[in-house]
Amino acid sequence: MSTEAIIGSVISGLSTGMVFFLVAAGLSVIFGALDIINLAHGSFYMVGTFFCFQSTLWLGSIPGVYWWTVILAPIGVALVGGLTERVFLRRIYDVHILYQLILTFAFILIVEEFCKLIWGVGYHTISVPWPLTGAVSIGGMRFPVYNLFLIGFGIVTFVGLEALFHSTGLGKTIRGVTYNREMAGALGINVPLVYTGVFMLGCWLAGLAGTLMAPMTVVKLGSDMDVLLNCFIVVVIGGLGSLPGAFIGATILGLVTSFGIAIVPGLAIVFGFLLMAIILIIRPYGLMGERVE
Amino acid sequence: MKEFFKGITGINRVWLAVVFSVFLVLPFILSPSWLSITTEILILSVAACGLNLLIGYCGRVNFGPAGLYGVGAYATGLLLEKTGIPFAVAMIGGPVIAGIIALPVGWFCVRRTSHYFALLSLAFGQIIWAAIHSWYSFTGGDDGIAGIRTPDFLMSIPSYYYFTLVIFAICLVVLWMICNSTFGKTLQAIRENPHRVEFIGINVRKYLLIAFIIHGFFLGAAGSLYCGFSHAIFPVYASFLKGNDILIPCILGGIYNFIGPVVGVTVYIFLSKVISAYTMYWLLFLGIVIVLVVLFLRGGIVGFISEKLSPAMQRRGVSGDTRG
Amino acid sequence: MILEAEKLIKAFGGLRAVDGVSLEIEEKELSAIIGTNGAGKTTLFNLLTGGSKCDSGRVIFNGEDITTLHPYEICQKGIGRSFQVTNIFPRLNTFENIQVAVLSAQGMSKKLFSPSRKMAQEETSEILESVGLSDQKDVLGSLLAHGDRRRLDIGIALAIHPELLLLDEPTAGMSPKESLEITELIQKLARERGLPLVFIEHDMNIVFSISEKVRVMHQGRIIFEGKPEEVKANDEVQEIYLGEKV
């Protein structure tokens, strides 16, 4: 591969990786605190893309319309998530994992059908917003500005989340609940509220990822499944429940996929799952997860 | 073996005879398209009952069952298409090869519990799917292989139905014996308390591996049957979504009863055909049903019925029912 | 001598739960291990039965080094164990709880085609009888009363044909009447089956009424070993029990 191709793959891999991170971060955080694998996480991402599209329709031609959707759409997704948690998930926290998996799978179906109902089966597009259109030249190569923006945004989000978890009272509360639910409850922490809050945070992140990703791809049904499986690979590599792990895992997956497509296009899809299986076999708690017996 | 059948009480024997007779005469009652659907129900039931050996009896979730199902289908399909071996051998080849693949897959999976078991089995299922999908020269890749010939006497719908019925009956009898054997009881103990069971001298991993291989064998058998049924093999047979076709009926019917998956499959396929005829939102309906079952009917349909029929029996132990 | 432990050490983090314990269990022994909470008694049982791995030291059973064996292997060699926190099979009924262990001891667990309904009936019934649970054989494990569940726990340990039985606080959480019944049961098991039996207990009445030997553990070590009267009279033991702050 030429240097250009390599760097091109790196940039593309990193920006895809950052989007993976944004989605997977939510999944990881939810698993860490609530001990639930939320299969519908990809669906929240997809709802994010649709909310983004819908917002652009509603807000019409006010200046900076896209940036307004970045604020609104994820909040909308978070609200949907909060509702879901309060009404449904709350009842299955301590039940056999099979029921959690199947219930959240049912959500995938329901969300897809609702999206189909509301927005139909067609594709929609959102144009890359000003001022991130076009490409820049660095060292004689051209990179889409938006990709670079995504990389930067991902890093900022990661730093922000880490700060939230480690330096704020809220973050400490969340971590307390994660480590020992009963103890936290005994100390007067409103555990159900924390659960709802964490779940909403996870959905907010997924919705944000969807909104940010919308200009780069098409808004369509089925995007939930594409994202979901990648999400799993990321959190497995990084370690369920670990935010830094999700960051590293997403970066690795982004790069592996990007290079995989460049080098061996036919087998690219196998790589992700192979990586996932290998990690689960040799180090199931991932690169940075907590050791489980 | 006879001892198993002595255990079936008088009234149950009558039921079995009635049910089996009904199945025998269905080709004379149903239209070819409904008969076809019934065949699909029988095939998926074999898969679901096989899967339930792991889920209901061992308490572990194979989240990628379509992988082994697909292996069975592709093994049979490729043997029929690319070699001249007899049909019967190709049909046996499916489950056998699925069982062989289940060995390394299971070996890795049984070393993990709960979430990690589910994720690893999912990963393997997807690897199998991706391998089938990408290996164009061998498997036909995305195009699959169509027009696979089965022997002439099995080409009609009624005749394949009877063929499936026989295989279905054999598979279910064997599975039933295994589930009600001392091995099956030990599996249930593993499900109930994987920690304690080590302290009664049971090597959990070994037992789970055996169960995994057996369940793989039956998943492969179902795949094989489906290959003969559809005369084709496509990568979608091994996909994540197909896997849910096998998993969901188990929950619907009830994972704690032997016959639960069969009931679940019947309801599932029946509903899917009937409802998709009326609306394009069948999946929404399915999603809602699943939510209701998970929240309120965790024992599934059969669990619910058996609780209503004899609450006293549920509190006590009744052999043959995995609830204890 | 049926079991010998040599200088067992097990640490969690920086804390040594078991700190150089050596002991010998004789073939006809009926003894108790006592000690304050956190003395390392349950950890010691875990080390002997394979539930935890020793950091160093050896365990020799019937002349064979079992230090690194898995729990199921040690079980097959003949060490049975009941647990401090009841550890049964909730959705199996009482009969099946015991039956599963008997089947394992008989080597029948792997039979794919032997109907469980027919196997190990006599032996299971006999064990149910000896722990006093015959009348509850159809009741689901999860629905048993606490005292009956502890009996079941013991029954399961008994069912694997043990040559040595280790019982961890068998009367935990029981009423005085039930405790007495369990005590009689323990004595009966030791006498009638000639089973060497070591039990962990907090109830001193039980300890002093039936055990022939008492070992006192404190902070991971056995600080005294002897007949019950000797233990009662020992100053150091008195100090630990009376002077110890919880």
Per-residue tokens: A229: 């499986």
Residue B3, C-beta contacts closer than 8 angstroms, at least 6 positions apart = C115, C117, C118
8 Å CB contact between C9 and C212: no
A253 touches chain B (CB under 8 A): no
pLDDT of residue A32: 82
pLDDT of residue B2: 63
Answer whether residue C155 is part of any domain: no
- Statement to judge: residues C167 and C67 lie in one domain: yes
Kindly provide the ipTM of the predicted complex, given to two decimals: 0.90
- Statement to judge: residues C195 and C138 lie in one domain: no
DSSP string, C203-233: -HHHHHHH-SEEEEEETTEEEEEE-HHHHHH
8 Å CB contact between C9 and C54: yes
pLDDT of residue C246: 35
- Statement to judge: residues C183 and C233 lie in one domain: yes
Least confident of B9-23, B30-44, B302-316: B302-316
Give all strands (DSSP E) within A72-112, no chain letters: none
Chain B closest-CA separation from residue C23 CA (Å) = 22
Asked if the Cβ–Cβ distance from A232 to B136 is below 8 Å, we say no
Residue, of A259 and B236, whose pLDDT is higher? B236
At residue B9 the predicted structure's pLDDT band, cuts being 50, 70 and 90, is low
- Statement to judge: residues C116 and C209 lie in one domain: no
Under-70 pLDDT residues of chain C? 242-246
- Percent of chain B residues topping a pLDDT of 70: 93
8 Å CB contact between A35 and A246: no
Per-residue tokens: B88: 């019967």
At residue B6 the predicted structure's pLDDT band, cuts being 50, 70 and 90, is low
pLDDT of residue B312: 56
Task: Please name the residue that has the structure tokens 């983090």.
Answer: C13
H-state helical runs in chain B: 2-6, 10-29, 32-52, 66-82, 87-109, 114-134, 136-139, 157-179, 182-192, 194-198, 204-230, 240-253, 260-278, 282-296, 300-309, 311-315
A229 touches chain B (CB under 8 A): yes
Distance, in Å, from the CA atom of B243 to the CA atom of B122, rounded to the nearest integer, reads 9
CB atoms inside a 10 Å sphere around CB A47: 26
- Statement to judge: residues C166 and C237 lie in one domain: yes
pLDDT of residue B324: 30
| Position A98 pLDDT exceeds 80 | yes
Cβ-based contacts of A273 with chain B (< 8 Å): 123, 126-127, 130
- Statement to judge: residues C168 and C225 lie in one domain: yes
Closest chain C residue to B194 measured between Cα atoms? C89
Domain that holds residue C209: 3-78+162-243
Residue C195 sits in a domain of what CATH number? 3.40.50.300
Asked if the Cβ–Cβ distance from B291 to A110 is below 8 Å, we say yes
pLDDT of residue B84: 83
| Position B74 pLDDT exceeds 60 | yes
Asked if the Cβ–Cβ distance from B288 to A240 is below 8 Å, we say no
Pairing mode of beta strands C56-61, C3-12: antiparallel
| Position B320 pLDDT exceeds 50 | no
pLDDT of residue A247: 92
Size of interface A-B (CB pairs under 8 A): 108
Cβ-based contacts of B204 with chain C (< 8 Å): 72
Q: How far is CA B213 from the centre of its chain?
A: 13
Pairing mode of beta strands C30-35, C213-218: parallel
A112 touches chain B (CB under 8 A): yes
pLDDT of residue A90: 85
Residue type, A1: M
Domain boundaries, chain A: 3-282
Asked if the Cβ–Cβ distance from C88 to B196 is below 8 Å, we say yes
8 Å CB contact between B173 and C90: no
Answer whether residue C83 is part of any domain: no
**What b/e readout covers B146-185, taking b as 16+ CB neighbours within 10 angstroms?**
eebebeeebeebeebbbbbbebbeebbebbbbbbbbbbbb
Is the previous residue joined to A284 through a cis bond, with omega within 30 degrees of 0? no
Task: Give counts: helices (H), strands (E), chain C.
Answer: 9, 10
Q: Which strands form C164-168's sheet, in the order they lie side by side? A: C79-82, C164-168, C197-200, C30-35, C213-218, C221-226
Instruction: State mean pLDDT over B47-72.
Output: 95
8 Å CB contact between C163 and C2: yes
Distance, in Å, from the CA atom of A101 to the CA atom of A84, rounded to the nearest integer, reads 15
Least confident of A167-171, A284-288, B10-14, C171-175: B10-14
Distance, in Å, from the CA atom of C194 to the CA atom of C67, rounded to the nearest integer, reads 25
Distance, in Å, from the CA atom of A66 to the CA atom of A205, rounded to the nearest integer, reads 17
Distance, in Å, from the CA atom of B77 to the CA atom of B192, rounded to the nearest integer, reads 39
Mutate to test the interface with C, among B175, B200, B314 (most CBs of C within 10 A): B200
Task: Name the CA radius of gyration of chain C, rounded.
Answer: 18
Residue, of C205 and A63, whose pLDDT is higher? C205
**What b/e readout covers C220-243, taking b as 16+ CB neighbours within 10 angstroms?**
bbbebbeebeebeebeebeebeee
8 Å CB contact between A115 and A221: yes
Distance, in Å, from the CA atom of C136 to the CA atom of C128, rounded to the nearest integer, reads 9
A118 touches chain B (CB under 8 A): no
Residue A258's alpha-carbon distances to A8, A261, B55, in angstroms, are: 9, 5, 37
Cβ-based contacts of A105 with chain B (< 8 Å): 244, 248, 290
At residue B242 the predicted structure's pLDDT band, cuts being 50, 70 and 90, is very high
The answer to whether chain A touches chain C by having 3 or more C-beta pairs less than 8 angstroms apart is: no
Domain total in chain C: 2
Partner chains of B (3+ C-beta pairs under 8 Å): A, C
Asked if the Cβ–Cβ distance from B3 to C88 is below 8 Å, we say no
Fold of A3-282: ABC transporter involved in vitamin B12 uptake, BtuC (1.10.3470)
Give all strands (DSSP E) within chain C, no chain letters: 3-12, 15-25, 30-35, 56-61, 64-65, 79-82, 164-168, 197-200, 213-218, 221-226
Chain C closest-CA separation from residue B198 CA (Å) = 5
Pairing mode of beta strands C197-200, C164-168: parallel
pLDDT of residue B138: 84
What is the per-residue pLDDT across A82-93, written as a single tens digit (0 to 9) for each? 999 999 988 888
Partner chains of C (3+ C-beta pairs under 8 Å): B
Task: Please name the residue that has the structure tokens 């900076």.
Answer: A64
Count the alpha carbons within 13 Å of B113 in the hemisphere toward its beta carbon: 11
Largest interatomic CA distance in chain B = 59
pLDDT of residue B317: 46
Asked if the Cβ–Cβ distance from C91 to B320 is below 8 Å, we say no
Residue B12's alpha-carbon distances to B8, B16, B22, B61, B168, in angstroms, are: 6, 6, 15, 30, 19
Domain boundary among C96, C118, C146: C146
pLDDT of residue B147: 86
Q: How far is CA A46 from the centre of its chain?
A: 10
Asked if the Cβ–Cβ distance from B203 to C88 is below 8 Å, we say no
Distance, in Å, from the CA atom of B46 to the CA atom of A7, rounded to the nearest integer, reads 51
8 Å CB contact between A51 and A72: yes
Give ∠ CA C221-C223-C227 in degrees, rounded to 5.
130
Distance, in Å, from the CA atom of B20 to the CA atom of B5, rounded to the nearest integer, reads 16
Per-residue tokens: B258: 């032997």
Asked if the Cβ–Cβ distance from B315 to C109 is below 8 Å, we say no
Residue B180, C-beta contacts closer than 8 angstroms, at least 6 positions apart = B4, B7, B258, B319, B320, C115, C116, C117
A98 touches chain B (CB under 8 A): yes
In angstroms, the first-to-last Cα distance of chain C is 36
| Position B319 pLDDT exceeds 50 | no
- Statement to judge: residues C99 and C212 lie in one domain: no
Closest chain B residue to C153 measured between Cα atoms? B196
